[in-house]
Structure 1
Amino acid sequence: MNNLDLLTAITVFVLSVLVGIEVISKVPATLHTPLMSGSNSVHGIVVIGAMLIAAGSHTWLGYVLAFVAMAFGAMNVVGGYVVTDRMLEMFKARPTAGTPGKPAAGTPDEATASTPDEATAGARGEAVVGAPDKEV
Structure 2
Amino acid sequence: MAAPDKAQQLEEAAKAAEHAAQTAEAAAANASGNAEAATAAAEHARMIADQLAVIASASPISDFVFLLTIFMLAIFVGYYVVWSVTPALHTPLMAVTNAISSVVIVGALIALGADLSQSANSFAPKLFGFLAVALASVNIFGGFLVTQRMLAMYKKKER
TM-score bracket for the superposition, by shorter chain length: 0.5 to 0.7
* 2:81 is equivalent to residue 23 of structure 1: yes
* 2:105 is equivalent to residue 47 of structure 1: yes
CA distance in 2, matches of 1:7, 1:56: 26
- Matches for 1:52-91 after TM superposition, within 5 Å: 52-56=110-114, 58=116, 59-91=122-154
Structure 2: gaps spanning 5 or more residues: 1-60, 117-121
Scaled by the length of structure 2, the TM-score of the pair is 0.50
Which string of whole-angstrom CA distances, capped at 9 and with x for unpartnered residues, describes residues 71-98 of structure 1? 00011111111111111111222223xx
**1:6, distance to aligned residue in structure 2 (A):** 2.4
Runs of 4 or more off by more than 3 Å in structure 1?
none
CA distance in 2, matches of 1:57, 1:8: 27
**1:7, distance to aligned residue in structure 2 (A):** 3.2
Count of residues in correspondence between the two structures = 93
**Root-mean-square deviation over aligned CA pairs:** 2.2
CA distance in 1, matches of 2:71, 2:88: 25
Scaled by the length of structure 1, the TM-score of the pair is 0.58
Deviates more, 1:77-86 or 1:49-58: 49-58
Match of 1:13 among 71, 74, 93: 71
Structure 1: gaps spanning 5 or more residues: 97-136
Which string of whole-angstrom CA distances, capped at 9 and with x for unpartnered residues, describes residues 50-71 of structure 1? 1122233621111111101100
- Matches for 1:91-130 after TM superposition, within 5 Å: 91-96=154-159
Structure with bigger gyration radius: 1
* Closer/same/farther in 2, CA of residues 48 and 16 from structure 1, 3 Å limit: same
Percent sequence identity is 29
